[in-house]
Structure 1
Amino acid sequence: MQSPNSNLRAFNLAVTTLLKNPSQFLPHLTIPTITHLPEILGPALIQTPAPSPSPSDKPSATPTPTPTIRALVLDKDNTLCHPKTTSFPAEILVKLRYLRTSPTSPFNRDNSILIVSNRAGSHPRYDAEVRALDDELRELQIPVFMLPEGSAKKPFCGTEVLEWFRERGVVDRADEIAVVGDRLGTDVLMAAAMGSWSVWCRDGVTEGGREMNLLEKMEGWVEKYLRESRGLRAPPPRGWTGTGTGTGTGGL
């Protein structure tokens, strides 16, 4: 496993992405916190402002295709728990319970939700966090991803995460997965690299009350600039055709 040092490679990837393909830095869906995550994600992921039609435009007879999301990758720090803790706010536990137990939720199947953290599960130093999370979530059966020996942390472990779901028969393709987290430079970039959809929890754990470090503030400024000033939006995952036959093979 990787040593628990700063993820310099991730920073370099973020800079390279912003220079060469900045739209990949943007999430497909932005929500304040995970408590706002729609149960049926597909329609929300492709809700983007449509250009104003010209008078000569004819209405399209083809309905807009929507992705089918069968699995969730959830970040821990600042998405499910406050940073460097394993305590879940009550409202987030309620949300997780609903996603896992609602008869209409696509995530009530075993192994359909996986916590992927750059702390818990990424290095033996954080094994106590894994045990605490396992105890907290045992009833809901939401596991923590254990980074394989020699693998890199987010945003570089997308191939391993996709294989985890495939081995358990949850998904066939990467575009059936949504990555949910508070960081553009790790969670969103991992989703883009693996060919999945991304959901950005803008406020972290507590709506409107997030305290950000400088890097997190910079990500927010860049996201607003790309979206508002340059008019960019996240492209569909690589290989997604909107017909249910996308390749979505991932690979980093």
Structure 2
Amino acid sequence: MPLNLTATFSLLRALKNPSILVPHFTTPSFNQIPIPLFPGEDVRAVVLDKDNCFAAPRTDVIWPEYEETYAKLRAHYGDRLVIVSNTSGTKVEDASGAKAVLLTKNTSTAVLRHDTLKPGCSEEIFAYLKARGVTKPSQIAVVGDRIATDVVMASLMGARSVWIKDGTPARPAEKTWYGPVEAGVVEMLQRRGWKAMPLSEKEI
């Protein structure tokens, strides 16, 4: 994948405010996310990462063990569940849109076509969800396996973040170059008292 400059610039902001790296909720795997997310809170929409979250990296199907959980998530959120991936639906990795079309077919879920890689595509996400009755960032939960893209994007949006810490069995986070690093950073920040970013109630 080409260098993700939006992720690089966003991570530089963590030097000033480390809270952008701290998730609101952490769960080992996709199968263990609560449905609904953040029970008792006004969470109307879910932005879902693909690679190493609910699917093996670079595949366009739901990991077999996660199909039941995925079906429950889709049933609960309907068209307010949207896949936002840096490998499907972007002009960088999927210029023709073929990957997005295939992923939508296999998951029965819309894949956002976005020009800017995560974490820089918040305005495109807001535009999509606003048309579906979402009025403020605090009503959105971002679910993904990467701190540097998924959690940071949620933080900058003012949305809730759900970190899938262990990845998928196809590519356990502990065996990636980033998994142990991100886990170590989050653990260190939480140990030092850093909390997740406040939610935004500003109209989108």
Cα distance, 1:11 vs. partner?
2.0
Whether the 8 Å CA contact 1:175–1:248 is kept in 2: the answer is: no
Structure 2: distance between partners of 1:164 and 1:95: 24
Alignment deviations for residues 110-145 of structure 1 (CA, whole Å, 9 cap, x no partner):
x1100000110012743332232122123xxx1100
2:130 aligned with 1:160? no
Name the larger-Rg structure: 1
- Structure with more of its chain in strand, by fraction: 2
The answer to whether the Cα contact below 8 Å between 1:74 and 1:179 also exists between their aligned partners in 2 is yes
Structure 1 length as normaliser, TM-score? Answer: 0.74
Q: Which of 3, 6, 29 is the aligned partner of 1:6?
A: 3
What is the match of residue 53 of structure 1? none
1:237 matched to 2:202: no
SS at 1:214 equivalent: coil
| In structure 2, distance between residues paired with 1:94 and 1:196 | 26
How many matched pairs?
202
- Percent identical among aligned pairs is 35
8 Å CA contact 1:154, 1:187 repeated in 2: yes
Aligned-pair RMSD on alpha carbons? 2.1
Distance 2:194 2:26 in 1: 14
Structure 2 residue 21 is the aligned partner of structure 1 residue 25: yes
Cα distance in 1, alignment partners of residues 116 and 172 from structure 2: 31
The gaps in structure 1 that reach 5 residues or longer are: 44-65, 239-245
Cα distance change on mapping 1:176 and 1:207 into 2, 3 Å: farther
- Corresponding residue for residue 75 of structure 1: 49
1:208 is displaced (CA, Å) by: 9.8
Q: What is the CA distance between 1:88 and its match in structure 2?
A: 1.7
TM normalised by structure 2 equals 0.90
Structure 1 residue ranges (4+ consecutive) displaced by more than 6 angstroms after TM superposition? none
- Give the deviation of 1:186 after TM superposition: 0.5
Residues 1:224 and 1:125: Cα distance change in structure 2 (over 3 Å): closer
Which letter does structure 2 place at the counterpart of 1:95?
A: T
Matched with 1:39 is 35
**Pair 1:207–1:134, CA change in 2 (3 A):** closer
Task: Give the equivalent residue in structure 2 for 1:63.
Answer: none
* Partner AA of 1:113 in structure 2: L
More helix by share: 2
Contact 2:86–2:93 at 8 Å: present in 1 too? Answer: no
